[in-house]
Chains A and B, each alone.
Chain A
Amino acid sequence: MVHRRDSTLQAQDPRPGSVLAGIGGLVLFIRHNDEKRVVLKGEGEKYERSANKGPIIGGPLSLIDTEGQIVTEKNLIGNWVLLYFGYTSSPDVGPAEVRKMANTIDILESRQNIKVLPVFVTIDPQRDTPSHLRTYIREFDSRIVGLTGPVAAIRQIAQEYRVFFKKIDEQGDDYLVDTSHNMYLINPNMEVERSFGVEYSTDELAEAITKEIKKSKITNSQN
């Protein structure tokens, strides 16, 4: 049975040799092409930054604080910053995270004598206007810096920090925002050191931040 099939196959193809040669040629061509494209070790461009440091997170910002003043990255340089992206209409996670932020800076200051500047950036600037944001934040801790701004500026900073946000559950004018609720620890040079998710408790967050700051050689210039 099998033999017979082979022989019929061969009979159908008039020149099996030429097909083989064609495949061989193709393989040689691909190999030659690969050899041409390969970059030898030590040659070519250096990708040291991406190889050692990973993706770049963060960047310049130009937003408005709760007093209507423009705030840029220059105002934040020199501080350790705990940066949180949220929105005041969040039903449960938002208030819990802001509370966590306030309690964490309390712990850091009283137990470790570490000063960290808490910053709340809204991802819902249409509803979180400066005065609303101010009233909301004051109920937690007035040391928290609230930032809002034009939609384009908020979108830019969210993209720089790779913050996901999406309007969901729209009911008339009312809606929720689906977002990751992550917090970033930023060093005095405005570089992101770590990010923390909602699963960190206040104590865990304070401990992780302490460890990170003690490990880092950069000291707070304002201390």
Chain B
Amino acid sequence: MALEAYSSQAADSVHSDVLSEARIACYKARDAFYACLEKESDKKPTESASVGLLYPAECKKNREAYVNQCRPTWVKHFDRQYCAKKRVQRLLDDNESRRGPLSLPQPYTFKPPCSC
């Protein structure tokens, strides 16, 4: 049977890089890098990260640690998330007169109104 064939399949290994310890280390390195990015925001961003994100040379060490601690797909995912957050912030902080309709992220399952 297909199911039995599956359970005897080889390569039943544990990927420790997504387990709790590695995950927390990755989150820490990520937060340190983005904190550096905020701190050095007045410097000229010359280095390029993924998804078009640029960062100043001062944060190079943090970036290296971050890339070392996380899976490459995770880095890309978080970079994209950071850019999206920045974009919304820019729209919100922008000059009142230039502000157009905003599409902020909306919850996407139906939640009945609270009857309490």
Contact = CB atoms under 8 A, between A and B. Distances in A.
Given A149-B6, A171-B73, A136 B18 contact: yes
A127 B107 CA distance: 30
Interface string B1-19: 0110111010111110011
A89 B107 contact: no
Interface string A76-116: 00000000000011011001000000000000000000000
Q: For B5, B11, B78, B111, which residue has the most chain A Cβ atoms within 10 angstroms?
A: B111
Given A89-B18, A130-B12, A131-B14, A64 B76 contact: no
B77 A89 contact: no
Contacts of A153: 2-3
Interface string A148-183: 011011000000000000000101001110000010
A210 interface: no
A176 B73 CA distance: 7
Contacts of B6: 64, 149-150
Interface residues of A, number: 32
A174 B73 contact: yes
Contacts of B18: 88-89, 136
B74 A91 contact: yes
A198 to B, nearest CB: 8
A85 B13 CA distance: 21
B95 interface: no
B23 interface: yes
Given A70-B3, A91-B74, A174-B71, A135 B109 contact: no
Given A64-B3, A70-B3, A197 B73 contact: no
B116 to A, nearest CB: 9
Contacts of B107: 197, 199
A132 B73 contact: no
Contacts of A70: 3
A92 B75 CA distance: 11
Contacts of B103: none
Contacts of B14: 131-132, 135
A6 interface: no
Interface of A: 62, 64, 68, 70, 88-89, 91-92, 95, 127, 129-132, 135-136, 139, 149-150, 152-153, 169, 171, 174-176, 182, 195-197, 199-200
Interface of B: 2-3, 5-7, 9, 11-15, 18-20, 23, 70-74, 76-78, 107-109, 111
- Nearest first, the 3 A-B pairs at minimum CB distance are A197-B109, A199-B107, A91-B74
8 contacts: A62-B3, A68-B7, A91-B71, A129-B11, A131-B13, A132-B15, A149-B3, A150-B5
Given A132-B15, A136-B19, A150-B6, 14 more contacts: A62-B3, A64-B3, A91-B70, A91-B73, A129-B13, A130-B12, A131-B13, A132-B13, A135-B19, A150-B3, A169-B77, A171-B73, A196-B109, A197-B107
